[in-house]
Amino acid sequence: RCADDFKGPLTVRIVGANGVLAEGTVKGVGADWKKFEVTLKGKNTDPNAKLVVTAASAGTLWLDMVSLIPAETFKNHGLRLDLAQMIANMNPKFVRFPGGCVVEGDPVIENAVRWKKSIGPVEERVGHWDLWGYWSNEGLGYHEFLQFCEDIKAEPMYVINCGMSHKEERAQKETPGIDVQEFIQDALDAIEYANGPVDSKWGALRAKAGHPKPFKMKFMEIGNENGGKIYHERYAKFREAIMAKYPDMRLIACDWRGGTPQEELLDIVDEHYYSDPGFFMRETGKYDKYDRKRHKVYVGEYAVTKSCGKGNLIAGVGEAAFMTGMERNSDIVEMASYAPLFVNPAWEAWNPNAIVFDASRTYGTPSYYVQTMFGNNKPDVILPLELVSAATTQQTLSGGIGVGSWGTQTEYKDIQVTGPDGSTLFQSSEIKDMSAWKTDKGQWEVKDGLLKQANADTPALALLDGKSFGNCTLTLKARKTGGSEGFLVLFQSTNLNDRTWWNIGGWENKQSGLEGGDLPDEKKNISIETGRWYDLKVEMDGQRVKCSVDGKIIHDVSRSASKSLFAVAGRKKDTNEVIVKVVNGGAIPQDASLELTGIKSLASTGKAIVLTSEKSTDENSFAEPTKVAPKEEKLEGVSATMQHTFPPYSVTVLRLQEKK
């Protein structure tokens, strides 16, 4: 709408680096709010183009909601074709929405997603401030989510806020001014919108939105990453109300931490895991000895987030190893979902993500292709499999050194690296400014011989640029000048994303631990005082790492020779196929013998789908979108007892045909 002094018209353009790519005109803007639409046909492509609205003359104009959408969308339901197709190509059996932490509202409950504000005309949706630092207009709302799930033949799983914001959940306090019954009613109404008849209040709104038939939603998660006494009480109330009205719903609880587990209330419990590739390889047997009488498990979020670059091959390999364990125990692990799904690099707030896109392009990370390989090669029944390979691998350990902090202001000095023979390989006294350091977040400076970090970023990191060390000893002095935690000491780090660090005074300034680099998960109690200088030492010798504070050894750990071959097998009934998934997480090829139990006879030829690359750190990009992508090859000499060589850092799917 406009004031009387505005005469119009408006010109709407898409403008690229080399000029106008598309143009249209809007006429008739008046004193009342009115919706206008204009179709723009592009002359060319520019992923960095901008949408530009200009006026022909001076005046006062109000724009309430502006949206640029492709004329052709996925199934004609509003989603960008290539992005929606990327999800469809994963062949998912369900979609979790609206996600994780965005559910709760950060830091306050007013920022939480409320589904009732995400239906109806898009221009009338209130929207909310997003946890990841931008405003969401809820263009992809509750109805669009249900419709998309139907379009790709996936079950919808809605995550409902349980009346807790991030701020209060972390403090384990009640959220002020909240009536939990309001949120329970939200859950009941959400189910009615999805499943209710057209003559019900919310079913009628669904019909009005163009979908009179019920969506038949079966799954709802109560809260996200909530826990403790308050959550236990609330979950019980949600469950009682929902089961009374919708007894066939499957309810998912957050990770049941703290208090006494009420197994009789639990159907499925959501567990989340983020770590380095080694963690996921070590945890492949996590569910092998799980108590089959307990609740089922939904691994709602998992991903390699350390030593992964922007999403590299070894990250996908580590996840695939863990996935073989989940699939092998699918009587317990009913569902699993990689997270997060999408990122536009210009708005990145989390690393890595499965699918990367800009205004006109998209590509999948190796982790994305792992998901497609598992999603499109699902068996119906798990088969016993014996996989024998004598080889174990140890990687050559080397990398850069650095320092950092987590929500804390710090100072470092006398940083020195010495070789096994005592020779000096580096000393910080030679550095007079920040040019020698690569940084990520933080307010860093070199002053009076000190390397200082002055803000509360999480994490703030400084890595010595262009230097890599093998066996060596790192010594330094560290002082906390303010903030909530202690020190981060980086070592054997490839870059700021592929990092290993010693976290001293982490976990709310209560513990010390080593993170990344396939090191054992060991925690020791320690806290860091403000204003005091500490002497820190990290000794690296082969697979051994020893860490000391003021001459006292805090950690003395070794990486054990790690298993690098992981597998699971199953039968697909409708095609009479045996599907074998094998992951080689090591740096050398693995010659292995496979023995399948319960198979009478197999055709002598089959096919192998292989994901691998030249280096474990290889990544995809807009320039090379399929540098690391599955390739299919013919398989010869197939039998129930067969030999096969699996490439280093690889994920392999074997599809073998059973003889009738």
* Annotation marks residue 240 as catalytic: no
What HEC string does 37-56 produce?
CCCCCCCCCCCCCEEEEEEC
- The active-site residue, picked from 169, 225, 283, 411, is 225
Provide CB contacts within 8 A for 559, sequence distance 6+.
Answer: 278, 394, 517, 518, 519, 520, 543
Distance, in Å, from the CA atom of 480 to the CA atom of 293, rounded to the nearest integer, reads 49
Distance, in Å, from the CA atom of 103 to the CA atom of 184, rounded to the nearest integer, reads 15
Distance, in Å, from the CA atom of 138 to the CA atom of 111, rounded to the nearest integer, reads 12
- Which of 306, 313, 533, 301 shows the shortest CA–CA distance to 411? 533
Provide CB contacts within 8 A for 127, sequence distance 6+.
Answer: 117, 135, 136, 137, 138
Secondary structure (DSSP) of 633-655: EEE-S--SEEEEEE-SSEEEEEE
Around Cβ 419, how many Cβ atoms within 10 Å? Answer: 13
**Host H or E run for residue 243:** helix 228-245
Running DSSP on this structure, what letter comes out for residue 452?
Answer: E
Per-residue CA distances from 257 to 227, 254, 303, 437 (Å) = 6, 8, 21, 40
Q: Where are the beta strands (DSSP E) in 345-443?
A: 355-357, 362-364, 381-383, 385-388, 400-405, 408-418, 424-427, 437-440
Q: State both tokens at 66.
A: 């502006």
Q: Exposed/middle/buried for 72, CB within 10 Å: 0-12, 13-18, 19+?
A: exposed
**Host H or E run for residue 296:** strand 296-304
Distance, in Å, from the CA atom of 490 to the CA atom of 406, rounded to the nearest integer, reads 13
Contacts 24+ apart (CB under 8 A), 508-517: 508/484, 509/484, 509/485, 512/547, 512/549, 512/554, 512/555, 513/555, 514/545, 514/547, 514/555, 514/557, 515/276, 515/306, 516/276, 516/306, 516/307, 517/276, 517/278, 517/307, 517/397, 517/492, 517/559
Q: State both tokens at 37.
A: 């639409």
Peptide bond into 630 cis (omega under 30): no
Provide CB contacts within 8 A for 291, sequence distance 6+.
Answer: none
Beta-ladder partners of 342? 355
**Amino acid at residue number 40:** L
Distance, in Å, from the CA atom of 504 to the CA atom of 497, rounded to the nearest integer, reads 19
- Using alpha carbons only, give the angle 553, 557, 563 rounded to the nearest 5 degrees: 175
Beta-ladder partners of 568? 581
Q: State the helix-helix crossing angle for 142-151 and 81-88, rounded to 10 degrees.
A: 60
Provide CB contacts within 8 A for 389, sequence distance 6+.
Answer: 565, 590, 591, 592, 593
What count of Cα atoms within 13 Å lies in the side-chain half-sphere of residue 188?
19
Provide CB contacts within 8 A for 532, sequence distance 6+.
Answer: 479, 480
Q: State both tokens at 565.
A: 């071959």
Distance, in Å, from the CA atom of 60 to the CA atom of 81, rounded to the nearest integer, reads 37
Catalytic residues: 225
